[in-house]
Amino acid sequence: MDRRDFVRLGMAATAVATASTASAAGKAAPASAAGGILEAGVLEQQALMQSGKLSSQSLVAQYLARINAVDKRGPRLNSVIELNPDALKIAADMDRERAANKVRGPLHGIPVLLKDNIATADKMSTSAGSLALAGVRATRDAHVVAQLRAAGAVIIGKTNLSEWANMRSTRSTSGWSGRGGLTRNPYALDRNTSGSSSGSGAAIAASLATLAVGTETDGSIVSPASTCGLVGIKPTLGLLSRSGIVPIAHSQDTAGPMTRTVADAALMLAAMAGIDATDPITRDSAGKPTDYAAALIKGGLKGMRLGVARNFFGSSDAVDAIIERELAVLKARGAILVDVKVPNTDKYGETEVEVLLYEFKPGLEAYLAGYAPHAPIKNMADLVAYNIKHNTKEMPFFAQEHLVKSQAKAGLKEKAYTEALANNHRYSRAEGIDQVMKEHKLDALVAPTGGPAWLTDFINGDHYGGSFSSPAAVAGYPHITVPAGHTNGLPIGISFVGAAFSEAALIRMAYDYEQATLHRRAPRYLASVNLPA
């Protein structure tokens, strides 16, 4: 698809959206809606709605039209797996509340997409991308969904993902699920979106909603955010409830924002945070600051000691060159840079996988019993059998080695499990991130988030180009990625990692960096990367 085709598609989407808005909401959108409103952030959209120049119903209608034009037609990103049939009605309800001066907060009337492993008690399925759960509706909302609804957000749909959050096969192709098919990267359609929050990343890059929620066990928020030119926040384990999220591992799983700006991510994170009586780990967040809007100030890097994690460089000369340039920006903004090595990162690679395999089976069974009791599968054994029976649709490209290995694991009282978990925490926390930050008196660690998007390959599977996700993921510590530039038109992210519950400090630093650089560029939906001759 060339640029002229895309411009024509954008014009068509605007025409559809305007007509849809006029009939549904009776309030025309601004003439700049095609480029400005759908790309705009929470505060700008909120200001327009507050002034009466935009309605939530109008905004939702425009995003739905854009999904039809860009996701289902045109470039066919295939990032949205299902739309909420009640989205316009919910938006209208939010407009009526606004008219009655009942504005719930900054997310009031703002359109949000959810990764399809997050339970919603509505007319949409929660399937984790699996045909085994297609059409299965959750009995109640995930806690983070309830928080978003209470904040006035409008859930407009679910996004595709790497099936079972990329914990099905040892050689999967990220962005593919049996139910949803393959999500494509909007920066180059033959490139991968990374996983597992693939649909959330592609959708927000393409401005198919204002905000999206992803989930991460290890890299599944920050990696697709980086490859799609977005801001992604993987919060501290326990800041957000895990209840109602189809699990891999309770010791690492968390939801988090995927947005076009740090400000949007901060506002969304604040809305989703909260103590949940059904998830005891959230009690650890009691008393921790969650007014992340207060962190959105320039000058947040001044005087900050940042450890440059040199053992996470070296995977790509092009990426290293970009990050070296951005380190100079951090220094110019007043940060103090210290070259460091995050210790012991080689001591939890195998044990991390072991813990995930142990926790996956009981976690899945508990989710199915609590949120999907009418599903045709009840446990891991049922899922393995389902995939074998429906192998032509579920396993045309790769198998289910992780599911089989998880099914073979015994309970969580096994010595092999408890020792592996203790090992992970020791070397990622006390003798990992905590150690290097204490030794060098650091406020955060920085490094490349990962490599550029790779060519999607169903034969050989994924081939990542480096990653800084594991230390924070295994430790359960916060991690923010921000756009840092491009190589051959493909986005690259820079990461800020900190100690537990240091989200506010990381947001201050990330926001200051973002405002000084403004590297995000909207995608052009190229068929492939234009390499130099």
Contacts of 104 (CB under 8 A, 6+ apart): 97, 150, 151, 152
Residue 139 to residue 332: CA distance in whole angstroms: 52
Domains of the chain listed by start with CATH number: 1-74 (no CATH), 78-85+104-344+426-517 (3.90.1300.10), 350-419 (no CATH)
Are 243 and 510 within 8 A, CB to CB? Answer: no
Q: Which residues are catalytic?
A: 115, 196, 220
Q: Side by side, which strands form the sheet with 479-487?
A: 80-83, 154-159, 111-115, 211-216, 254-259, 231-234, 479-487, 490-497, 444-448, 305-309, 336-340
Average pLDDT of the residues of the chain: 93
Residue range 378-398, pLDDT digits in tens: 999 999 999 999 999 999 999
- pTM for this model (two decimals): 0.94
Residue 46 to residue 109: CA distance in whole angstroms: 8
Residue 103: CA count within 13 A, CB half-sphere? 16
Of the two residues 83 and 1, the one the predictor is more confident about is: 83
CA 404 to chain centre: 27
For the four alpha carbons of 252, 257, 259 and 263, in that order, the dihedral sign comes to negative
Residue with tokens 């240091």: 502
Residue 68 to residue 250: CA distance in whole angstroms: 36
- Nearest to 142, CA basis, from 240, 34, 225: 240
Neighbour tally for 521: CB within 10 Å? 14
What is the total residue count of the chain? 533
Residue 189 to residue 183: CA distance in whole angstroms: 9
Give the model's pLDDT for residue 35.
60
Q: What angle do CA 283, 287, 291 make, to 5 degrees?
A: 115
- Calculate mean pLDDT across residues 274-292: 96
Q: What does the DSSP assignment read for 274-290?
A: ---TT-GGGGGGTT---
SS3 of residue 392 by DSSP: helix
Q: What angle do CA 435, 427, 258 make, to 5 degrees?
A: 85
User: What tokens appear for 277 in the block?
Assistant: 């009586």
Q: At residue 348, does pLDDT exceed 90?
A: yes
Neighbour tally for 138: CB within 10 Å? 24
Residue range 426-445, pLDDT digits in tens: 999 999 999 999 999 999 99
User: In sequence order, what E strands does 392-524 have?
Assistant: 444-448, 479-487, 490-497
Residue 158 to residue 113: CA distance in whole angstroms: 6
Residue range 43-81, pLDDT digits in tens: 999 999 999 999 999 999 999 999 999 999 999 999 999
Are 267 and 44 within 8 A, CB to CB? Answer: no
Contacts of 189 (CB under 8 A, 6+ apart): 1, 75, 77, 525, 526, 527, 528
Residue range 466-512, pLDDT digits in tens: 999 999 999 999 999 999 999 999 999 999 999 999 999 999 999 99
Amino acid symbol at 300: G
